[in-house]
Chains A and B, each alone.
Chain A
Amino acid sequence: METIKMKLIYPKWQKLRGQTTFTLPPHGPVAYAATLPEYVDISFTDENVEEIDFDEECDVVSLSVMLSTQVKRAWEIAAEYQKRGKKVFAGGISAMLHAEEFVDHVDSLFLGESEGRSEQQVLDWKNGCLKKVYNYMGNQPPIESVGPCRRDLYKRELYNHKGVQMVDLFHASRGCRFSCYPCAVSYLGGRKFRPRPIDKVVEDMAGIENNRLFIVDNSLAQDKEWEKELFRAIAPLKKKWISHTIEDDPEVLDLAAKAGAWYVYQAVYDTSDYIKERVKRYHDYGIGVEGTILLGLDNQSVDDCKRLIDFLGEIDLDLAEFTVMTPFPHTKGYDDLLRQGRIFDFDWNHYNAGQVVFQPAKMTPDELQDVYEYAWKSFYASETQESKMFRLFCNVALREMEEGTYVPRNRALANKSFGKEVDRRAPHQNV
């Protein structure tokens, strides 16, 4: 088969105010790329770390879209390529969530998981019979067919901060048996937890040339036996990893720690002793905790939010990330707030989980916006986010040194941050 040159693009999006400016290599585009046949020659651009060269030679363009805040930018990019006579494909989480609108902006929309299916879209394009929609919603491929991502497509130097390589994203499962109020994962990946076979996970993880990973699965706490087997199997790899919630069980936590758990994201939704003890239990096993705090739920007033924020100081979190309730399409949150006529903003650029787009129940939108800003400032008042992150970084570096897996920072990139020169002059020298 003759080579087809595909331009694969991950559109830019704006980070939350207060969030770190670290940019991680995106997972969706390289997972999709891995499902394409060898005759597709891919040139990948992550617009968050480099500009798109719209004049770069290519036969076809594919957009990989994860966030609602990427959607409108994706449409702009599509229009730019269409002006140049190129056909544009799109897929990914937000292409699925916003599919009804997306279909008007691209030449071909891929809905669902692409393993074993993406080649058909390419062949149809090649044969002049490209379909508007390739619809595999609710029809997931066998989980065994999920293979290693095309991480060779990353320009590694662009995901590097002062010589330190960012973590690689990794998935050990898909789908979710929970169906949480603000989350669309069960709609996207099915209401069934689909763990990958352990041997495939180990093989995949071992092949990643990065000792630090972020296991991005929705929650690892979905099947205790699989979780324990997973941790036992990956421990010999000596990787260090971040993940979402782990089962609250001494045996599982012990295995997780031995398997390289670096820190986990833990939702902090109330001021109970349960939360306090949960965080303590992670720490008892040497696992750090980043609290995720969702503000603006219907049971929260301004005072409730402030009480929750104050509580964070008592539970010794290593990091915290704050978001405001956002009614993403295909969530129960969206359905409820839509029915109640409380969504006042449907501009997807504002759906970044840091901007209030609905009428909260017990406060005004402005009050919620203010309490969100207060949360970031208050939590990081005594120690900056960079400093807290540095402490976590030191923890992992020390463990790696003990295990002989530590890779010193790349001195050649010491003056670069995500591909850009770092200005090391003191502020007065900038005048």
Chain B
Amino acid sequence: MKVQERYYDEVFEFKGQWDMPSSCGLKLREVGGKTYVVVTELYQDNPGTSVTYAGRSLAEQICEAKGLKLDEVVYIECTPNTNSKLSFYDEEYFEVDFNADKQHMYRRLPVEEVKSILGNEAEV
């Protein structure tokens, strides 16, 4: 379940739940005047909290490190394709709204929208 490097520009180290040392893949993109923060779950190479569980705390840590304001970025979580035979390890992208309730916090991005942000970098 090694995540391919094409999913990230850098590995971002963050403090997970209860300060657990954690890692995620990170890409920042400027498209159409918007800043997109794309975090990727690294599975076996993430020793701590998942990007989804870390949620807002991870987003805040990235924004602080990169000099961004959370309410001015589009925050996207990526579950990468790990070439697993299991369907639950396919590539998917979700925009996250941290102000919504648990059941409405995530919006799965359609292929066209992902491609408009990441171009050919996306596999979807």
Contacts and interface: CB of A to CB of B under 8 A. Distances in A.
B21 A179 contact: no
Nearest to A335: B52
Contacts, number: 68
B44 A336 contact: no
Contacts of A229: none
Nearest to A190: B47
B66 interface: no
A181 B19 contact: no
Given A137-B20, A343-B103, A338 B88 contact: no
Contacts of B79: 335-336
Contacts of A17: none
A330 B92 CA distance: 19
Given A298-B88, A339-B106, A330 B50 contact: yes
Given A329-B53, A338-B102, A341-B104, A298 B1 contact: no
B103 to A, nearest CB: 5
B43 interface: yes
**Which of A99, A100, A332: most chain B Cβ within 10 A?**
A332
A332 B108 contact: no
B25 interface: no
Interface in A91-133: 99-100, 111, 133
Interface in A111-167: 111, 133, 135, 137-138
Given A99-B18, A138-B47, A338-B106, A181 B88 contact: yes
Contact of A179 (B43, B92, B94): B43
B48 interface: yes
A387 interface: no
A38 B44 CA distance: 39
B17 interface: yes
B48 A138 contact: yes
B19 A135 contact: yes
A332 B19 contact: no
B18 A340 contact: no
A86 interface: no
B87 interface: yes
Given A135-B19, A190-B47, A341 B103 contact: yes
B18 A135 contact: yes
A133 B88 contact: no
B53 A330 contact: yes
Interface in A300-342: 329-330, 332-336, 338-341
A271 to B, nearest CB: 15
A294 to B, nearest CB: 12
Q: Which of A190, A329, A339 has the most CB of B within 10 A?
A: A339
A339 B94 CA distance: 7
Interface in B75-124: 77, 79, 86-88, 92, 94, 102-106, 108
